[in-house]
Amino acid sequence: MKPTRPNRSRPAAQAGRAGWVSACLLLLLACWPLAAAQIDEQQAKLEQLRQRIARLTEDLHLDRNRLDSYQNELREIERNISQHKFTLKDLEGSLQRRQRLLERLEPREQQQLQRLQRHQRLLAQQLRAAWLMGEQNRLKMLLNQQDPSRIARLLKYHEYLNRARSRKMQQLRGLLQELEQTRRSLDEERQRMAELRGQALQRQQQLERDKAQRAALLEKLAAEIQDKDKQLNNLKRNEANLKQLVSQLQQTLQELAVQQSQKTPFGDHKGRMSWPVKGRLGARFGSPRAGGIRWDGVFLRASEGSQVAAIQPGRVAFADWLRGYGLLLIIDHGEGYMSLYGHNQSLFKKVGETVTQGETLAQSGSASLHGQGIYFGIRHNGKPLDPAGWCR
């Protein structure tokens, strides 16, 4: 986690930052027409202002990095939860398979026990019959010289009886071994099921901890934007900041008499200018957006890193990060016309530089809530215009 920054009101801090950005921009622009004798003095003041801008920019970066850190941790937790759910599902399947095996083994154990008891009874009967007949009866028949055929039958009967007794004894031993093996299998399966249940419980507990951790992170993120009302206020504040910035730029640049490199006025090119980036419209001018407000420009979908070009010649009036618009670049085209390019990945121009038509200004980004692409707007004396009526 990033270290906690000193406690201060975020709205007040953001308002202060917006004010400093605007004030610094105005002072920067005001420095341009100064006489040569005043340049050294003004540049010293400018350096101080730049240092303050750098500190404010660092604060903004810390805010964004902290939010990025929360989002990265949230993504890792989501992955862990998904993995735990998959593992739990696999363990549940193993438990069900072993339960079915136990259900098959337990009746088998009962059947073997019944067979063992039945053979025990038969063996007891044979032993009792052998004991009743006894070996003395066999000797007595031989000594009394009874009918030889009858004696042979009796001897044969004794032989059959002994063989049957031997087979039953062997079967009994086999049944005993089989029963013992079955019992061992049952014990092993029961032990394995206990281990699986323990693993499943551990996974479940880990899942609950991850859920609690995710809830804590979500609570931190929710603290940044507490509810829908605050989200609405953020959107309206972003819009107000941009309008205020454009208004300040208009007032200042009107006094600077920007030298235009184009021969014809900006308004004469209406409907014939190219879009600043190759892509398709993701949001149209005037269409509803979150928070009950409407788009004051368009959102052009484009692959991350696409080249963003100037629609007409002009001078860069603003090139910095602005809340709600990311890395924003504004070009003044004279006669009150401005073009705005927001949500860029990187900016290639600085304030005060002149640009030509089609010159690369920036690379499109992917940090917008609307996906990959840029925000594009046109203003005339601070009033938003529909870019679709100007570009083709």
Rounded-to-integer distance, Cα 96 and Cα 99, Å: 5
Task: Tell me whether residue 335 is in a domain.
Answer: yes
Q: What is the pTM of this model?
A: 0.41
The range of the structural domain enclosing residue 288 comes to: 259-392
- Average pLDDT of every residue of the chain: 73
Q: What does the alpha-carbon distance between residue 244 and residue 240 come to, in Å, rounded to a whole number?
A: 6
126 contacts 168 by C-beta, under 8 angstroms: yes
Largest alpha-carbon pair distance within the chain? 157
DSSP H or E segment with residue 354: strand 354-355
Report if residue 333 sits inside a domain: yes
Cα 105 to chain center, whole Å? 45
Q: Is 385 within the bounds of a domain?
A: yes
Q: Which of 125-139, 191-205, 213-227 has the lowest mean pLDDT?
A: 125-139
Q: Is residue 367 part of a domain?
A: yes
Q: Per the structure block, which two tokens stand in for 61? A: 């970066």
Label residue 126 by pLDDT band (50, 70, 90): low
pLDDT of residue 375: 95
Query: Does residue 4 lie in a domain region?
Result: no
Asked, for residue 328, whether it belongs to a domain, the answer is yes
pLDDT band at 386 (very low <50, low <70, confident <90, very high): very high
H/E run at residue 102: helix 39-143
Min mean pLDDT across 5-19, 103-117, 178-192, 368-382 is at 5-19
CATH of the domain at 317: 2.70.70.10
Q: Which residues lie below 8 Å from residue 319, measured CB to CB, with a gap of 6+?
A: 328, 329, 330, 347, 349, 350, 351
Tokens (6 digits) for 18 = 């917006």
- Which helix (H) or strand (E) covers residue 343, if one does? strand 337-347
Note whether 383 and 297 are within 8 A (CB): no
* Structure confidence at residue 12 (pLDDT): 43
HSE (side-chain half, CA atoms, 13 Å) at 184: 6
**How large is the average pLDDT for residues 355-381?**
90
pLDDT > 90: what percent of the chain? 25
Among residues 306, 286, 296, 322, the alpha carbon closest in space to that of 376 is found at 296
How many domains in the chain? 1
* 314: in domain: yes
Is pLDDT of 62 > 90?
A: no
In this prediction, residue 28 carries a pLDDT of 46
- Which residues, 6+ apart, have CB-to-CB distance to 355 below 8 Å? 310, 313, 314, 315, 316, 331, 349, 361
Q: Give the residue with greater pLDDT, 251 vs 184.
A: 184
- How far apart, in whole angstroms, are the C-alpha atoms of residue 155 and residue 138? 8
225 half-sphere exposure, CB direction, 13 A CA radius: 10
Does the residue 372 lie in any domain? yes
Residue 379: left (phi > 0), alpha (psi -120 to 50), or beta? beta
